[in-house]
Homo-oligomer: A and B are copies of this chain.
Amino acid sequence: MAKELKELTKRADNYSQWYNDLVVKADLAEQSAVRGCMVIKPYGYAIWEKMQAQLDKMFKETGAQNAYFPLLIPKSFLSREAEHVKGFAKECAVVTHYRLKSSDDGNSVVLDPNAKLEEELIIRPTSETIIWNTYKNWIHSYRDLPLMCNQWCNVMRWEMRTRPFLRTSEFLWQEGHTAHATRQEAEEEAQKMLHVYAEFAEKWMGVPVFQGVKSETERFAGALDTYTIEAMMQDGKALQSGTSHFLGQNFAKSFDVTFLNKDNKPEYVWATSWGVSTRLIGALIMTHSDDNGLVLPPKLAPIQVVIIPISKGGEQLQAISDKLSPVINKLRELGVSVKYDDSDNKRPGFKFADYELKGVPVRLVMGGRDYEENTIEVMRRDTLEKATVSFDGIVEHVMQLLEDIQEHIFLKAKTFRDAHVYVCDDYEEFKTRVKDGGFFLCHWDGTAETEAKIKEDTQATIRCVPFDYEQTPGVDMVTGKPSKCRVLIARSY
């Protein structure tokens, strides 16, 4: 696609516009004809596929199995769990009819009033209800537990304001739903899956996260505890990047799911659910990318290395290609995704800009002089540093560089994040500073009222009580009442 590359909006000028521009210009996604729903383009979807492959492996290592449950949920199911219905029954897509018919003029199709459903069906916003209605038939005895299913699917929540990947009416995700014999086992499972998400975020995405537990206000509808990973974007805002819920026996009670324990006595089953979505792609973009385009972690980049020959054509191109060919093969054997771009309908400068925009971690360029001198130019996308190195040992050099970039972008993001986490005990100071972004560790009296006041005054919310922070009691910065611990507060996406 030989369209000219247009300049991205700069982050400093308009961070939000920079993000929207980048999603489109890097060919990740675009708006569809359906309000709030996006088309995920091949390059964006390739990132999702790499994420899926790794997460799926990690889930299976914990003993989870994949399955598939229906897209549509009977409306009455949503009402079964009292809290759940408040959270999910409102903004959702409702199927009311199962047939269209030709219009009277024959030029279009219209609803067939005779094909009205007796009970409306909801496109799943999340699947706890239909899954627990199914688990009822699968669980009889303690020997059937634990039961751990995951599904990769689409879900729909009718959002009024949408942004690609971050908030769309339809999105892709995975949702794990597990059933356990004891409270302790379920709580451990919910935390274990949070750790899986955190490990994936940090080691694969290169995105440092805080792990913690949500306040009651911010809990998943129907959960006793919601655990979260919270990442900091480059504008200092928080992005909730994955959640894991301890659901207690709420869904078991609503859907009457009991098991006979070892003493042959019936008990309600304990539950968890956990999910991450295509929102992770948004987290990836907003953590690492820059004014030149995407910066992708090597472990998730669809193209890890691009190799571009620069020649005066013909014989010279052939010679360069011959020289590069064993390197390409060797890298591919090592599992590296390599693109060799010798297309002659684009200038090198255009190619460079395009692969920078697309965030390809490593670029190799060989020109006539490199060929003569047995050298090659290496550029790393994260720092944009260029170096001309010996062609001998280039494979090892590239392999090491991919590792270095993976590590470097994580450390860079972590350094940035850590420099923007503030301990704050003064509400006036908080109100001023929170506008500029960053995470604030503040004492909170634990009441929903104080939480609401903070939100009203500043738009910031309690993201979580972080796990890895040494806590001492204190006084709430707003009310002066006693506080058991500091919470992480930030504006968020």
Residue from the list B101, B130, B153 in contact with A32, Cβ < 8 A: B130
Given A42-B66, A67-B45, A107-B79, also A98-B130 (CB < 8 A):
no
Within 8 A of B (CB), among A1-34: 1-3, 30, 32-34
With most chain B CB atoms within 10 A of its CB, the pick from A33, A49, A66, A79 is A33
Is the beta-carbon distance between B93 and A98 smaller than 8 angstroms?
yes
The reply to whether A90 and B99 contact each other, CB–CB distance below 8 Å, is yes
**B94 lies within 8 A of A95 (CB):** yes
Q: Is A172 an interface residue (CB 8 A)?
A: yes
Interfacial chain B residues near A138, Cβ < 8 Å: 1
Chain B residues with Cβ below 8 Å from A107 are 79
Measured between alpha carbons, how far is A65 from B99 in the docked complex, in Å? 33
Judge whether B85 and A65 touch: CB under 8 Å.
Answer: no
- When the two chains form their complex, are residues A100 and B90 in contact, meaning their CB atoms are under 8 A apart? yes
Q: Is A316 an interface residue (CB 8 A)?
A: no
Supposing A71-B37, A77-B33, A154-B153 touch, asked if A143 and B109 sit within 8 A by C-beta, the answer is no
Contact in complex: B96, A96 (CB < 8 Å): yes
Measured between beta carbons, the chain B residues less than 8 angstroms from A108 are 75-76, 79
Task: Give the residues in chain B near A96, CB-CB below 8 Å.
Answer: 94-97, 111
Segment 65-112 of A: residues with Cβ below 8 Å from B: 65-79, 85, 89-101, 107-109, 111
- B99:A91 contact, CB within 8 angstroms: yes
Q: How many copies does the complex hold?
A: 2
| Interface band, chain A | 35 or more
Residues of chain B within 8 A (CB-CB) of A91 are: 98-99
Q: Could you say which of A65, A72, A90 has the most chain B C-beta atoms within 10 Å of its C-beta?
A: A72
Inside 8 A of A121's CB, which chain B residues have their CB? 34, 93
Confirm or deny: A426 has a beta carbon within 8 angstroms of a beta carbon on chain B. Answer: no
**Given A70-B170, A75-B109, A153-B154, do A93 and B94 touch, yes or no (CB 8 Å)?**
no
Would you give the 0/1 interface string for A42-70, flagging 1 where the beta carbon is closer than 8 Å to chain B?
A: 10011011000000000000000111111
Which residue in chain B gives the minimum CB-CB distance to A85? B109
Cβ < 8 Å to B, chain A residues 126-159: 130, 133-134, 137-138, 140-141, 143-144, 149, 153-154, 156, 158
Query: Which chain B residue shows the least CB distance to A158?
Result: B98
Chain B residues contacting A41 (CB-CB under 8 Å) are 67
Q: Can you name 26 A-B pairs with beta carbons within 8 Å?
A: A1-B144, A2-B143, A3-B140, A30-B134, A32-B69, A32-B70, A33-B74, A33-B133, A34-B121, A37-B71, A39-B134, A42-B65, A42-B66, A45-B65, A45-B66, A45-B68, A49-B66, A70-B170, A75-B100, A78-B100, A79-B109, A90-B99, A90-B101, A91-B99, A94-B98, A96-B96
Q: A-B pairs with the 5 shortest C-beta distances?
A: A42-B65, A37-B70, A40-B68, A94-B97, A98-B158
Interfacial residues, chain A to chain B (CB-CB below 8 A) = 1-3, 30, 32-34, 37-42, 45-46, 48-49, 65-79, 85, 89-101, 107-109, 111, 120-123, 130, 133-134, 137-138, 140-141, 143-144, 149, 153-154, 156, 158, 170, 172, 345
